[in-house]
Amino acid sequence: MNVKEIFETMEYGPAPEGSAEAHEWLDGYGRKFGHFINGEFTKPGKTFASTNPANGEELAQISQAKKGDIDLAVSAARKAQSDWEALSGYERAKYLYAIARQVQKHSRLFAVLETLDNGKPIRESRDLDIPLVARHFYHHAGWAQQRDRLFPDQSAYGVCGQIIPWNFPLLMLSWKIAPALAAGNTVVLKPAEFTSLTALLFAEICQEIGLPKGVVNIVTGDGDAGEAIVNHPGIDKIAFTGSTGVGKAIRKATAGKGKGLSLELGGKSPFIVFEDADLDSAVEGVVDAIWFNQGQVCCAGSRLLVQEAVEERFIKKLKARMETLRVGDPLDKAIDIGALVAPVQVKRVQDLMKKGEEQGAVRHQPDGAVPSNGCFVKPTLYTNVQPANIIAEEEIFGPVLVAMSFRTPDEAVTLANNSKYGLSASIWTENINLALDIAPRVKSGVVWINSTNNFDAAVGFGGYKESGFGREGGKEGMRAYLRPNWELKLKSLGKSTVPAKPKLFATDGIDRTAKLYVGGKQARPDGGYARSVVNADGKLVGEVGEGNRKDIRNAVEAARGALSWGSKPAHTRSQILYYMGENLDYRRSEFADRLREMTGVSAGAAKKEVELSIERLFAFAGWADKYDGAVHNPPVRQMAVAMVEPIGVIGIAAPDESPLLGAVSLLAPSMAMGNTSVLIPSESAPLAMTDFYQILETSDVPGGVVNIVTGAKDELTKTLAEHDGVDAMFYCGDAEGGKKVEQYSVHNLKQTWTNKGKAMDWTDREICEGEYFLERSTQVKNVWVPYGA
Ligand code: NAI
């Protein structure tokens, strides 16, 4: 080829990054690694191969952790924890800073090793993964130093078990380890079995900087080792990133164990192109959304939604751009798409592609050849895809994009939200008003406007729905590694006192029976039964409807129908909560009498419970327009607007004790933040909340915002916690009941708060009028907005 021809084709020659240093490092360990426990590498045990997916060559043998190894790692972490947390924030900050510096110093070695082990283009590991790792440790050095100032009266969980995937091996390690250490935890981390090498190099850095022994422990192995970490009784919190299937298994395994849990799971994120978008920029956006890291990105923009008027033009431009993507040796600096992580992933991707084609999707791939001896898959675009096609619904985790079209912005939102996942979304339009209208309506934890796949340590990241819960990065991420000191001091509630078996009878014609409250109206229970409410002496004090599964389903439907409550101005919600307080105040003696009658408490105690309930409504009325977001300043020309959003429909199983105050303490923050709810009142003293209907009705609470179903708490809770239309559960009861709620919540991965079988002190203003329940009633969405002409 002569110069003229080269100039015309703009063909690149190969530009390979040298890998000698990485191979030398591997040789230094005899290409056989043990675990890193208590500051030392252990002797390798039973091992498995870690291979280079670009050519199938074995890189090293990695040890498979057995239960004994996990025991050793957990006890080293436990031993180190109290001293680590007792260091000053400044001391911990210095260690995190030292790690950041070492990562920078060894950045080339890290990048090459990552690319060899994972198959991702060196351009990405060098320019994105490793710099972001350093940034994460820098950022968290600051949190370490400010922990006590910014998170007063909170402590570290203790020992954290952290399980990470193979798509961003070192980056996910930093997302896990940096906040955990900043907060004062020690960790046992397991990298994914395909990609352990950079975690082991990281262990070496921990040695180099003299990190106290046992603060970071790294054990290697497959899912069995992961399971052993999850089930280890010595671990206080589990943080997991990976597939939704394993996330659900972990939710189930940890149910009722009282461990902290954060799950960052899969996605099927929409990439929305409006007709007024800068189409050429949007095409580049697609390249970064789905072909970055071979599409093995949990927040990959894998569902392209294009407005009909520009669909043809956009797809044509996209296809032309696909022709120029270079697939090949990931160590080549001019490569766009490297290798998938392992043959099993290639097969998984190809199987899904085949199924999608069987369901009518039309495949487009560029003409160029790809190397035949590694895990390479061509960039792929599917058109003619129905929303119900498997490739439009399932996470493919490969370089495969599905395209669909929409007509109106509303249709774009409906299509975008038509997914069990809710991790991220990318919105392309030149109209900022439209972008900022759509962003809050898309159910996802991150929204990028005219951009995609931006990450920063200061900006929280995490999902809604089956994409998991909890956030990583920023203040939200720090909170996930801390817990309030009062939680540890709570006494056990003991076994819930089962109320005497109530008498059930048909309600026909008996109008004394308090009905259910659904959609703003009193409703007869579906089954037509009522139950007696008796006081401690066995005297009948009233009757309430006996709700059943159907009633819960109706109530959930009503609550879903009222979700626009969340988009009302905070001032309106505040005003309504104040009215509720005022109206309860008018009826204070009536409510106090009722409490006394049902529970046998003294007149003084009943009066105090009502007074505190009024105060609580006032407190959250005041909070409604104050617990709000932030604007972050990531190191790119974008601002990230952290919006505090309601979770959606919250199921509330109120405590048996303090039947009015307990229920109000959970209901008020949830309402203040814009959630709607289905509340199951105290089983033994439900009349406090059936009387509350009048308060709701006289306070302008829109129908469906609060729904109340009385009856057998355990049975009703089961239906509520299993219902996919419920987004979160608050449960107060005995430990067994709390465990069941966590188990029932698995299907749609609803967030749960339970009292963990502990006796809550509902009179405690510090606990019950502060940010604790506001935090549990909200989730943070980060909207990235670019600026600059
Ligand atoms: P995976 O979820 O099985 O692996 C992630 C991590 O979990 C690894 O460290 C693995 O050893 C560990 N693990 C596996 N089973 C476990 C268990 N029962 N208990 C505790 N830990 C366990 O992901 P996999 O099978 O490698 O990939 C399959 C699919 O999962 C991908 O095609 C993709 O769709 C999705 N995935 C999503 C990721 C994300 O970031 N959202 C990351 C990795 C995979």
The per-residue pLDDT for 23 is 98
- Chain centroid offset of residue 473 CA: 12
Nearest ligand 1 atom to the CA of 249 is 18
**Distance of CA 540 from the midpoint of ligand 1 (Å):** 55
Backbone angles phi, psi at 606, to 5 degrees: -65, -40
Residue 498's pLDDT band (boundaries 50, 70, 90)?
Answer: low
The whole-angstrom separation of Cα 242 and Cα 265 is 5
435-469 pLDDT per residue, tens: 999 999 999 999 999 999 999 999 999 999 999 99
Residues 226-243: what's their mean pLDDT?
98
* Higher pLDDT among residues 499 and 386, named by residue: 386
Of 243, 293, 350, 464, the one to substitute when testing ligand 1's pocket (max ligand atoms within 8 A of C-beta) is 243
First-residue to last-residue Cα distance in the chain: 41
The number of residues making up the chain comes to 789
Measuring from atom 8 of ligand 1, which residue has the nearest CA?
192
127-156 pLDDT per residue, tens: 999 999 999 999 999 999 999 999 999 999
Query: What is the rounded (10 degree) CA torsion for 269, 466, 237, 670?
Result: 110
Spell out which residues line ligand 1, taking CB within 6 angstroms.
163-165, 167, 190, 192-193, 222-223, 226-227, 230, 241-243, 246, 249-250, 265-266, 298, 345, 348, 395, 397
The whole-angstrom separation of Cα 63 and Cα 350 is 30
Residue 356's pLDDT band (boundaries 50, 70, 90)?
Answer: very high
Q: Which of 34, 17, 139 shows the shortest CA–CA distance to 459?
A: 139
Task: Count Cα neighbours of 656 within 13 Å in the Cβ-side half-sphere.
Answer: 20
**Distance of CA 735 from the midpoint of ligand 1 (Å):** 30
The per-residue pLDDT for 512 is 72
542-566 pLDDT per residue, tens: 999 999 999 999 999 999 999 999 9
Measuring from atom 19 of ligand 1, which residue has the nearest CA?
227
- Residue 5 designated active-site: no
Contact 391, 402 (CB under 8 A): yes
The backbone region for 368, taken as left when phi is positive above 0, alpha when psi lies in -120 to 50, beta otherwise, is beta
pLDDT over 70 (residue 496): no
Q: Which residue segments constitute the domains of the chain, with CATH numbers given?
A: 20-265 (3.40.605.10), 269-466 (3.40.309.10), 546-786 (3.40.605.10)
User: DSSP characters for 367-394?
Assistant: SS---SSSS----EEEES--TTSHHHHS
Sheet of 424-428, strands arranged across? 362-364, 380-383, 400-406, 301-307, 269-273, 424-428, 446-449, 778-786, 638-646, 630-632
SS3 176: helix
Measuring from atom 10 of ligand 1, which residue has the nearest CA?
223
**Distance of CA 245 from the midpoint of ligand 1 (Å):** 8
Residue 447: strand pairing partners: 425, 783
pLDDT over 80 (residue 499): no
Contact 215, 181 (CB under 8 A): yes
Contacts of 335 (CB under 8 A, 6+ apart): 121, 122, 123, 326, 327, 328, 329
Sign of the alpha-carbon torsion through 184, 239, 469, 724: negative
The per-residue pLDDT for 8 is 76
Write out the two tokens for 144.
Answer: 């370490």
Residue 500's pLDDT band (boundaries 50, 70, 90)?
Answer: low
Question: Other C-beta atoms within 10 Å of 320: how many?
Answer: 11
Measuring from atom 16 of ligand 1, which residue has the nearest CA?
223
In the chain, what is the greatest distance between 2 CA atoms, to the nearest angstrom? 102
pLDDT over 80 (residue 241): yes
The per-residue pLDDT for 746 is 96
358-414 pLDDT per residue, tens: 999 999 999 988 999 899 999 999 999 999 999 999 999 999 999 999 999 999 999
What letter would DSSP give residue 160? E
The per-residue pLDDT for 493 is 85
The whole-angstrom separation of Cα 678 and Cα 670 is 11
Nearest ligand 1 atom to the CA of 227 is 19
680-736 pLDDT per residue, tens: 999 999 999 999 999 999 999 999 999 999 999 999 999 999 999 999 999 999 999
pLDDT over 80 (residue 511): no
Question: Other C-beta atoms within 10 Å of 539: how many?
Answer: 9
Residues 120-130: what's their mean pLDDT?
98
pLDDT over 90 (residue 14): no
pLDDT over 80 (residue 215): yes
251-275 pLDDT per residue, tens: 999 999 999 999 999 999 999 999 9
Residue 236: strand pairing partners: none
419-431 pLDDT per residue, tens: 999 999 999 999 9
The catalytic residue among 114, 193, 264, 645 is: 264
The backbone region for 501, taken as left when phi is positive above 0, alpha when psi lies in -120 to 50, beta otherwise, is beta
Model ipTM value: 0.96
The whole-angstrom separation of Cα 648 and Cα 699 is 21
SS3 784: strand
The whole-angstrom separation of Cα 345 and Cα 343 is 5
pLDDT over 90 (residue 286): yes
SS3 627: coil
pLDDT over 70 (residue 665): yes
The per-residue pLDDT for 224 is 98
Contact 515, 529 (CB under 8 A): no
Whole-prediction pTM: 0.96
Helix ranges (H only) for 237-342 are 244-254, 279-290, 308-323
Averaged pLDDT of the chain: 96
**Distance of CA 471 from the midpoint of ligand 1 (Å):** 18
